Amino acid sequence: MRDLSCVLSGYCCTVAPCPYGEAGQDGVCIYLAQPNNAGQRKCQKYPEIVKAERNASSPMMGSGCSSTLFNTMRETVLANKRRRP
């Protein structure tokens, strides 16, 4: 079975910003941080979003990836984690 857990690749935020985000001129959310050494990109609005969604039945943060196929950003993070666990 395919692992759908979130690896913080930031891919979804480069394709279509969530309701809390805002697309820059290149379409990437302006709140998406630069990648770390593993290729992970964190949301700079994470605390605000978690607080706003604390009573939601399906909080959006950490719900996992719905775009695993052909997602090279996700594959890069997973490959880096295998090399440097």
List residues near ligand SF4 by CB under 6 A.
13, 17-18, 20-21, 29, 31-32, 43, 45
Shortest separation between residue 37's beta carbon and ligand SF4, angstroms: 19
Shortest separation between residue 16's beta carbon and ligand SF4, angstroms: 8
Nearer to ligand SF4, 25 or 83 (CB): 25
Q: Is 41 exposed, middle or buried (0-12, 13-18, 19+ CB in 10 A)?
A: buried
Shortest separation between residue 48's beta carbon and ligand SF4, angstroms: 8
Chain centroid to Cα 6, Å, comes to 7
Q: Write out the DSSP string of 42-71.
A: -BTTHHHHHHHTTT-SS-STTS--S--TT-
Nearer to ligand SF4, 52 or 83 (CB): 52
